[in-house]
Amino acid sequence: MTMFFQRLLSAIALIAACAVPAGVGAQFSLKPQASTGATVVTDQVRAELLAWAPDGVQPGKPLWVGLQLAHIPEWHTYWKNSGDSGLPTLLEWTLPAGITAGDIAWPTPKKIPIGNLANYGYEGTVLLPVPLTVAPGFDASQLEIKLKAAWLVCKKECIPQEGDFVLRIPARSSTGLSSNTFAAAFAASPQPLDGAGSGIDVEAQAIKVSLAGLPASLQGKTLEFFPETGSVIEPAAAWQQAWQGAVWTARVPLSGQRSESPTRMAVVVASGGTAWRIDTPVQGAWPAVAAPATMSPALEAALKANAAVGATPTVSSGQPLGLLAALLGALLGGLILNLMPCVFPVLAIKVVSFTQEKNQAARLAGGLAYTAGVLLSFIALGAVLLGLRAAGEQLGWGFQLQSPAVVAALAALFTLIGLNLAGLFEFGSVLPSRVASLQAGNPTANSFLTGVLATAIASPCTAPFMGASLGFALGLPAWQALAVFAAIGLGMALPYLAASAVPAVARALPRPGPWMDTFRRLMAFPMFATVAWLVWVLGQQSGIDGAGALLALLVLMALVLWSLTLRGRARLLLATFSIALAAAGLWAVGPNVTQPMAAASSAGAPSERWQAWEPGRVEQLTAQGQSVFVDFTAAWCVTCQYNKKTTLADSTVLADMDAKKVALLRADWTRRDPAVTAALAQLGRNGVPVYVIYKPGSAPVVLSEILSVDDVRAELAKL
């Protein structure tokens, strides 16, 4: 039996190394560390100066810099037209001769209601990109960029803040790793339209906007409207819009405090996350303007009241109390992770090996090796996650299971383990003896690999206390964030480490005997159950064709393994045939496994109770006075599925939701979705499950990851 587990883990290491899809390694490039002074952190905002120069600093080549503002939940900064109150972010550049800066390419804002007012601004994370122009003949080993930025960050109160930034860009080296970040900002910016035939007519108390040339797919849809010129309209007022054939029209009330009378106006209209910008002439005589004002009286009072509270940001040097709380939460979350169903199959392997080891010193060495495997794996996953996020990817905890290729590889790996445990084959019969017994003389390596395997299958789960710790970790310096990931790993490994160090635990276990062979075969079924779950997860990502293709390939893999256990001429014939058949199957149906479904296909039809979450939907419902319950979930999250089938399906909970007229939204994170990632970040979370209750005029309430009927009903009773 000892040789069995040694060979098992040796083969797992080989298969896991070969299971990484081609090209995946290229995605894990870590962004170079920004030079000192590129980041400023306050209690409300993390501001970072970024650059994108794919061809280096050369005349005629694209060169962009931008200030990225990451707001904590409920805080916001402002667009170029801030609306009823607020101030736009100001950027003042200090550049060497030969480099000039353009205007900010403002991303499309959102309307932010504040009482009976409305502002235009940004929540979550936003990048304000600025193009730089390089003059012919510019020659320097590196480009040093200095920025003095000022922004106003508001919730119910407003705090003016500013920061000084320094960033150095190698003149001849590529810094294209920020391309995804800038590409996302460009995608969020309005697309320019010629708008021939568009115009604005001034009336006594309103302006009538007529926009032509918009995409035909928009006809009949309700659009959002943002004028770039401030102090012209009433942002919070109700207004009418309609389509007259292919022309969109709107009648928008004029502001009683209007201070501008432009002859041309640039306006932005948006729908479904895409926006368009049209610069159009203004016709008609403007009514008399009010006295000019730079800010509303309410904002001016807020600024004076808060001038002494954080008017000058400080560069973050860590938050000791917050970090200690995050480390403790991560440790407790890791401990609880051992109770998650996704971890049981791997822990079963470790329990069997634990019962076989008679020597206390060897048992302790195995415990330490297993702990090292778990710790290093969590740190490695954390480093990859931080690196990809720094490179512009919108990812969260469990990101690896958002890839169909990774899900398929894990399904194949657990099928292989299950077939071995069931006795279909032994590794010594299908692999060269030198390979199969590669680690036979080093059992600690087997324990280490078990820790790696346990982390691979457990990492998508989020236990209580983990969610807040993971969300907090992503805003910390890299070494502090990795310490939080290590604390999760330590918590997960701690029970086994303690058991291996206490002789009384070993004495309490049954002695090795024939029962272990039966137990070994029994453990094949948790492995197959894990495979069934992974196939279901893949079906949510790649559809029924992808799940069916994966099942067919797993059957062919089992056929190949069985044929390799035969002897004599039959082995050669059947093995050749089965390998050829598996290769043909991989060529024929393999692409179905890794091909994600289109978003519309995977979303499915919403149920009567639960509707699909989308950006801005919560704000729309709460603005109408309705409370909202949002379920952030994923098919690969076992805890999510358990809560969905128990607490969220409970008749008393649903009755309470109906009585309170709570709207139910489900945000599906099964596949990579930057909008869901951004929404989780606003809540200070980085993984699922997350359950949130939104009440009009109140801060959102985030519930525990493990839901109970009583807890949910208690929160609903407060609405």
The yes-or-no verdict on residue 688 having pLDDT over 60 is yes
CA 105 to chain centroid: 25
More confident position, 620 or 444: 620
Q: Structure tokens of 46?
A: 């993390």
For residue 457, the model assigns a pLDDT of 66
Tell me what the mean pLDDT of segment 234-255 comes to: 86
Residues 484 and 327: beta-carbon distance below 8 Å: yes
Q: Tokens 């084959």 sit at which residue? A: 425
Q: Structure tokens of 689?
A: 């499950």
Q: Structure tokens of 375?
A: 């710790």
Rounded CA separation 648/713 (Å)? 11
- Domains contained in the chain, CATH given: 2-27+317-594 (no CATH), 39-189 (2.60.40.1250), 193-296 (2.60.40), 605-717 (3.40.30.10)
Residues 425 and 564: beta-carbon distance below 8 Å: yes
Rounded CA separation 371/338 (Å)? 13
Q: Structure tokens of 484?
A: 């939080």
Amino acid letter at 183?
Answer: A
Tell me what the mean pLDDT of segment 527-537 comes to: 81
More confident position, 212 or 393: 212
Q: Say what percent of the chain tops pLDDT 90.
A: 13
Q: Tokens 């805890």 sit at which residue? A: 639
Residues 201 and 208: beta-carbon distance below 8 Å: yes
Residues 265-311 pLDDT 10s: 899 999 888 899 999 898 888 887 644 444 444 444 444 444 443 33
Amino acid letter at 504?
Answer: A
Residues 176 and 53: beta-carbon distance below 8 Å: yes
More confident position, 319 or 592: 592
For residue 298, the model assigns a pLDDT of 43
The yes-or-no verdict on residue 8 having pLDDT over 80 is no
- How many Cβ atoms from other residues are within 10 Å of residue 567's Cβ? 7
Residues 120 and 83: beta-carbon distance below 8 Å: yes
Residue whose C-alpha is closest to residue 149's, from 42, 62, 75 = 42
For residue 397, the model assigns a pLDDT of 57
User: Up-side HSE of residue 96: CA atoms within 13 Å toward CB?
Assistant: 17
Amino acid letter at 70?
Answer: A
Most confident of 6-15, 475-484, 604-613, 693-702: 693-702
Rg of the chain, C-alpha, whole Å? 29
Tell me what the mean pLDDT of segment 330-339 comes to: 76
Is 0.85 surpassed by the pTM of this model? no
